[in-house]
Structure 1
Amino acid sequence: MYSSAFLLAVLSHTVSGLPGERHGLAKRDSTLIPTSCFDSTSSLTQYFNYNYPWGDTHNGAAIMKDSNSVIADAGVLTLNATYTGASDYAYDSGTVYAKQQFTVEAGGGLDFSAQFIAPVETGTWPAFWLNGVNSWPPEIDVAEWKGSGDISFNTFNSSSEVQAQDVKYPSPTDYHTVLAELRDEDGSNVSVNFYLDGTLITTQYASGLVGQPLNLIIDLQMEGSSGSPGPTGTTLFQIKNLEVIDKNA
């Protein structure tokens, strides 16, 4: 028979050799918004509010209406902009923002991903973006289309300190996958890896972003930074398989 002292020594050695013990337990990812969030109108409204966090307009020619953000097909959010010709806002369109706010914590991170069919014509300005809850900046454009045929990946540290990368947006009538990986770099600044269809496009840095809460917004604005005149018919922006993963835990 083995002595109790021997058994305790063996157990102690075994536990001390477990993976991750020296550096703390391995972090576990958790899903903050699941890919099922657009399965129905009820699932949409479980995770998102209509319009912007501050109201129904923002830097463009569209005013946002709840009825222009719809789940017509299960799994797909469709934002539609309709030309009305009104003198103040020439379009009715759709925007939603996440009910939850998101923060990169010290030593942690967040992943934001979705698939899009996005319009790229002059006067169309869809975007999938993050902005500061308490101030602007910060702003991270996970994906933005400004009527040029390109997709833009941007990080605003101030109105004059902007990192921006534009690349040609292929086959705009097909779905494309966008992913942004946000990671704490040094307890203050956050790196952002931007991917398009699984390819790393650029890495940018958000100054002092650790600990700052962010809003997640999906909107179809019109004209403004995307030029004018915009289309006079109906414009669609479609989103599916949106997911937010917490890397902080």
Structure 2
Amino acid sequence: MKTAIVLCVAGLLAGCATPMVSGAPDGDRRLLFSDEFNGTALDRSKWNVEGPDFWVNDEQQAYLDRPDTIAVRDGVLVLTPRFEPGTDPKAERKAPFVSGRINTSGKFDFTYGRAEARIRMPDAVGVWPAFWLLGNGPWPTTGEIDIMEYVGDKSWAGTAIHGPKYSGETPFVDRFYFPAGEDATGWHTYAAEWSKDQVEFFIDGRLTYRVTKPMVQNYGRWAFDNPEYVIINFAMGGAYPGKVNGITQPYFGVPAETVEKVKRGEVSMEVDWVRVWAPE
């Protein structure tokens, strides 16, 4: 499943020259960051783990740093939500689920290039796994690039960007509907090619959506000339799934059928690898 490559993590090894690596998306490109998840646990030199204080978008989970929510097994990162009413330490939230969220903030970020990951989704309405990039400033002033968002409709995966005056209900959002014989529960490579004047989104090498700087400037300032870091998370329910599926019971955006799947341990997001390449 894996391709052996050599890694020099930008920002971790000062002065280290990252080698050219064959097998890059468009010929030989410099590899800035990679995690192939070939160990037995999450590499904490590359990733931070979010804790339960983080809460946005009326999501129905608390993020916990536990081996049953964030695991590395058989060369794959596995983020798994658990149904645990009463575990959430935030009394005002009382989330019925716990789950996992990791990021590279303070350990790796980049400006321009290609970020990609090979990911497999669960078949469960109302889940909200995502692979995305976020700037270091207050949201959304330094931009957000959502490379892949999934709300449990296996026929499509979403992409979006957010910035000043085009955040939240952004006009820059797209759905890619998989062709016959494919869906989000199979392995797919999700990528964003980010340059100084556009962001292009790809699934399995197919260009699915393009947002240009002039398009964005019709709404607000182009917020993508600064470093962004990588996030992978598994949210449950909340604003986006709830808006799409209209479900309010038993939990916002999450139907009873998905609750039962989570209870049985059938719901997880699997990530084979994450790679970030320098611009061409």
What band does the TM-score fall into relative to the shorter chain? Answer: 0.7 to 0.9
From 199, 218, 233, the equivalent of 1:192 is: 199
Q: What is the TM-score when the length of structure 2 is the normalising length?
A: 0.67
Stretches of structure 2 that go unaligned for 5 or more consecutive residues are: 1-27, 87-92, 243-252
| Aligned mates of 2:119, 2:227 — CA distance in 1 | 25
Matches within 5 A, 1:1-249: 29-36=29-36, 38-41=37-40, 44-51=43-50, 55-59=53-57, 60-67=59-66, 68-73=69-74, 75-86=75-86, 88-99=94-105, 100-104=107-111, 109-137=112-140, 138-149=143-154, 150-157=156-163, 158-159=166-167, 160-169=169-178, 170-185=182-197, 191-205=198-212, 207-224=221-238, 225-227=240-242, 228-230=253-255, 231-232=258-259, 233=263, 234=265, 235-247=267-279
The separation in 2 between residues aligned to 1:229 and 1:144, in whole angstroms, is 16
SS in 1 for 2:211: strand
Maintained 8 Å contact 2:46/2:108: no
User: What's the TM-score, normalizing by structure 1?
Assistant: 0.75
Deviations 1:216-247 (A, max 9, x none): 11000001021323422232000012101122
Shift of the 85–154 alpha-carbon distance from structure 1 to 2, 3 Å rule, reads same
Q: Secondary structure at the match of 2:173?
A: strand
How many angstroms apart in 2 are the aligned matches of 1:177 and 1:30? 19
Q: Deviations over 1:137-166 (max 9, x none)?
A: 211100000233320011113225430111
How big is the shift at 1:208? 2.7
Q: More strand per residue: 1 or 2?
A: 1
Residue 23 of structure 2 aligns with which residue? none
Which protein is bigger by CA-based radius of gyration? Answer: 1
Once the two structures are superposed, what CA deviation does each residue of 1:87-146 show, in whole Å capped at 9, x if it has no partner?
Answer: 711101011101434242xxxx21101111112532200000112211222111000002
Q: Shift in Å at residue 35 of structure 1?
A: 4.3
When residues 120 and 135 of structure 1 are mapped into structure 2, their CA distance, relative to the original with a 3 A threshold, is farther
Identity percentage of aligned residues: 23
1:46–1:214 Cα change, 3 Å? same
Q: 1:45 to 1:72 in 2, by over 3 A?
A: same
Q: Distance in 2 between matches of 1:181 and 1:44?
A: 25
**May I ask how many residue pairs the two structures share in their alignment?**
209
CA distance in 2, matches of 1:35, 1:201: 25
Structure 1 counterpart of 2:275, one-letter code: E
In structure 2, distance between residues paired with 1:63 and 1:142: 23
Residue type at the aligned position of 1:236: S
